[in-house]
A = this chain, B = another copy of it.
């Protein structure tokens, strides 16, 4: 382990993909599982996920949703009931054909998402308008067979939450879509320090079976976009397929309008690619397993005194609500430890040596700016929450500047194709799926979303010149 950390990692500018893969493994966030495309989430990576979960679960519960758990296994026939849904997911399914020592009569699908099994239960549970809205969330694993896996971003199995709700009418369902979109916006902005672009997907990029899909897109440091979460308005598509009906106050039998929405471990990949640099990860303090690491420096009796003071500081930091840790491993040099924690993206490092101790100070190093400050030990712990909050804001601002600097407003085919080589392009588009396909073929870029905060605008499609659709610009980018 010691040797691995003394090497650097491939610089982002040289090979972004290699940078990412090395970093995920070297920072001990994840490892590859024995079945191709599967992932082991190691404790350091899993702790980040637990912090995401805890923040998101609180928002989900505060707004009246309840957690439940639905089966991993779905009869193949159920998945086929919604035609677009099965068509969309069919190529990615893993199928159990043998169980309990014999071949099964009907193949079983390992859930790629749970609309169908939840639809089946909603149909049983809902009978009257009094049962609505039904607001359910599940934390679970899902399986989608990946031909080109990448740790966190595309794995054959991933962890996520999936919200599933049923409503009396479209208005109520769309209000729910807004609530769920707001959860994700808040988690992205306030916890992950991710500036997101939010908007509807075009028809060809929608979830299989949805009438509307709203996605949250982040631009990462190689200029590609990542869809880190999505919310779907399913209309009555699944209600019709699974007979989810209710008797209204007036006694009529009506179909429910349903929604679904999910955020996954992909979020961790998005954080890495948005904030990391050539020295490794940079974690937003709110999601950092260790917000502050204290590295004691010295030998023999000096070290004992420094260690004592470090532990005292650690206790003070914890009292102040800071996730702090002393790195007291005795076989490793301070220099090794600096690199080790920089690679792992710990926001603040505190170095304490014998001379610092004599002067009543410590050296405080900021992972984002690299700046070192000498600060009095007295009061250091108490001021740390503010320092971390400042770090969190600065990280967000840096990512927002990057996004703005790498998003071009384009009005011609040439500008569009050039812009998506290094970032995102905002273009008027005709709305024709064939034109979208041509853009993808020429450049690899897809329509990420129709940003909801875009100004009203009409004109000609930047790519084909036909009259524009949507009344606003569309965000195009190459994507993970």
Contacts and interface: CB of A to CB of B under 8 A. Distances in A.
Interface of A: 1, 31, 33-35, 38-43, 46-47, 49-50, 66-75, 78, 90-101, 107-108, 110, 117, 120-121, 124, 127, 130-131, 136, 140-141, 143, 145-147, 156-157, 159, 331
Nearest to A136: B43
Nearest to A128: B1
A1 B247 CA distance: 13
Contacts of A67: 43, 46-47, 50
Contacts of A49: 69
Contact of A34 (B74, B90, B92, B143): B74
A182 to B, nearest CB: 22
B43 A66 contact: yes
A46 B69 contact: yes
Contact of A68 (B42, B91, B96): B42
Given A40-B71, A47-B66, A50-B67, 18 more contacts: A31-B121, A34-B75, A35-B73, A35-B74, A38-B72, A40-B69, A42-B68, A43-B67, A46-B66, A69-B159, A73-B156, A90-B101, A91-B100, A93-B101, A94-B100, A95-B97, A96-B97, A141-B141
A40 to B, nearest CB: 5
6 interchain residue pairs of minimum CB distance: A100-B145, A43-B66, A38-B71, A33-B71, A41-B69, A94-B99
A124 B31 contact: yes
Given A68-B42, A121-B31, A147 B50 contact: no
A99 B95 contact: yes
Nearest to A138: B46
A177 to B, nearest CB: 21
B98 A97 contact: yes
Contacts of A40: 68-71, 117, 121
Nearest to A78: B34
Nearest to A159: B69
B101 A39 contact: no
Contacts of A159: 69
Given A66-B47, A147-B100, A73 B42 contact: no
A70 to B, nearest CB: 5
A73 B156 CA distance: 9
A120 B32 CA distance: 11
A69 B94 CA distance: 20
B117 A34 contact: yes
Nearest to A155: B71
B141 A72 contact: yes
B100 A92 contact: yes
Nearest to A66: B43
Contacts of A71: 33-35, 38-40, 157
Contacts of A74: 34-35
A261 to B, nearest CB: 17
A233 to B, nearest CB: 23
Contact of A96 (B43, B66, B90, B94): B94
A37 to B, nearest CB: 9
18 contacts: A31-B124, A34-B78, A34-B120, A35-B74, A35-B75, A38-B71, A38-B72, A40-B70, A40-B71, A43-B67, A43-B68, A46-B68, A47-B66, A72-B141, A97-B98, A100-B145, A100-B146, A141-B141
B33 A73 contact: yes
A380 B100 CA distance: 55
A184 to B, nearest CB: 22
A159 B141 CA distance: 12
A35 B100 CA distance: 13
Nearest to A93: B99
A42 to B, nearest CB: 6
- Most chain B beta-carbon neighbours within 10 Å: one of A107, A110, A127, A157: A110
B43 A117 contact: no
Nearest to A118: B40
A331 B136 contact: no
A49 B35 CA distance: 30
